[in-house]
Structure 1
Amino acid sequence: MTLARMIATLLGAGYIRPAPGTWGSLVALPWAWLVHVIGGFPLLVLATVAAFFKGWWATAKLTEGSDDHDPSEIVVDELVGQWIALMPLSLASWRMGIDITVMWPGWIAAFLLFRLFDIWKPWLVGRADRRGDALGVMLDDVIAGVFAAIGVLVLAGLYHAR
């Protein structure tokens, strides 16, 4: 397995069927927890940026010369989007000194909202996906992750405002 394929498929998680994107998002969860535990919110941000650029490179390599700009086994974009969706939890945990695992309802919300926006592809998510290139593959999940992160913040605000 080439380096590009290892990165793009998250060490082969993209080959799990059915729903490889969902599997990629699930794989992203424990990795996000590990990154957060090691270095808090700042490391999660740095790791997300690094994963974005590595994923963009790997996606471009794997789709070079192909008509399919977004093969289902490429799931590194799901990792990036899922990590963005989790950032409000990581930030709150890091700033307030709260164990991130006690925020488990937020993890579930981040996962479900990210999958919803990634599958539904509303507005800017769909626009990015329609680019038809490796950058579009990555950007649609970045935007879906941002939408999910906003949803996590709204739900947390509603829950904690009671």
Structure 2
Amino acid sequence: MMVKPNVWKNPVHFLAFGLGSGLLPKCPGTYGTMAAIPFYLLLQYFSLPLYVLVIAIASVVGIWLCDKTSKDLGVHDHPGIVWDEFCGYWITMIAAPAGILWVLYGFVLFRIFDIWKPWPIGWLDARIGGGLGIMVDDVVAGLYALLALQLTTMAV
């Protein structure tokens, strides 16, 4: 049986579980990515260097958040840990054009790469443990989705 933590009492777990979005039944990664969108809508107004800095900090802090929560629960990469999806989506959206269609397109691209896990995403996911292991596959999925999104913008 999967551990169902009470994220409302522990701020580290609350963040790791994407402000509680990872507790929703079925497809917590998709819900986590959806929960990242409102934050992106605020972050998109930052200058590009500040946006990238915020994502870098969120990702580094995410390694610790995910590692601590995983250890506390005794479950490596609990499905409800979705901070990695937050960061992966925000990476996808670096320098994305404005507009809801791009927000949705970035969402779909990130979910495809996160679920499909093309090389080296699946390879990294299987070989790296701890908080870094939880974060790295979503960071790389975000980079793949970022590339796909940017190539699309050039074609449009």
TM-score of the superposed pair, with normalisation by structure 2: 0.87
Change (3 A) 1:68 1:43: same
**Would you say 1:74 and 2:71 are equivalent positions?**
no
Aligned 8 A contact 1:35 1:43 in 2? no
Alignment of 1:143 with 2:140, yes or no, is: yes
> In 2, distance between residues paired with 1:62 and 1:76?
11
Tell me how many residue pairs correspond in the alignment: 147
Structure number with the higher helix fraction is 1
Does the 8 Å contact 1:36/1:43 carry over to 2?
Answer: no
Q: Does 1:134 align with 2:131?
A: yes
* CA-CA distance at 1:67 after TM superposition: 5.7
- Residue 115 of structure 1 pairs with residue 111 of structure 2: yes
Amino acid at match of 1:127: W
Cα offset, 1:68, TM superposition: 2.9
The one-character-per-residue Cα deviations of 1:15-44 (angstroms, maximum 9, x if unpaired) are: 01221100111111110111222x232332
SS of residue matched to 2:129: coil
Q: CA deviation at 1:13?
A: 1.0
For 1:18, the aligned partner's letter is: K
Q: Secondary structure at the match of 1:71?
A: coil
- Check 1:125–1:65 CA distance in 2 against 1; reply closer, same or farther (3 A cut): same
Mean alpha-carbon deviation: is it higher for 135-144 or for 39-48? 39-48
How is 1:1-162 mapped onto 2 (pairs within 5 angstroms)?
1-37=9-45, 39-64=46-71, 68-89=75-96, 100-101=98-99, 104-130=100-126, 131-159=128-156
Q: Could you tell me the TM-score, scaled by structure 1's length?
A: 0.84
Runs of 4+ aligned structure 1 residues displaced above 4 Å come to: none
Residue aligned with 2:18, SS: coil
- Aligned residue number for residue 96 of structure 1: none
CA contact (8 A) 1:55 1:77 kept: yes
Give % identity: 35
| Structure 1 unaligned spans of 5+ | 94-99
8 Å CA contact retained: 1:128, 1:137: no
Question: How far 1:9 sits from its partner (Å)?
Answer: 0.8
What is the CA–CA distance in structure 2 between the aligned matches of 1:113 and 1:153, rounded to whole Å? 11
Structure 2, gaps ≥5 residues long: 1-8
What is the Cα deviation at residue 124 of structure 1?
Answer: 1.3
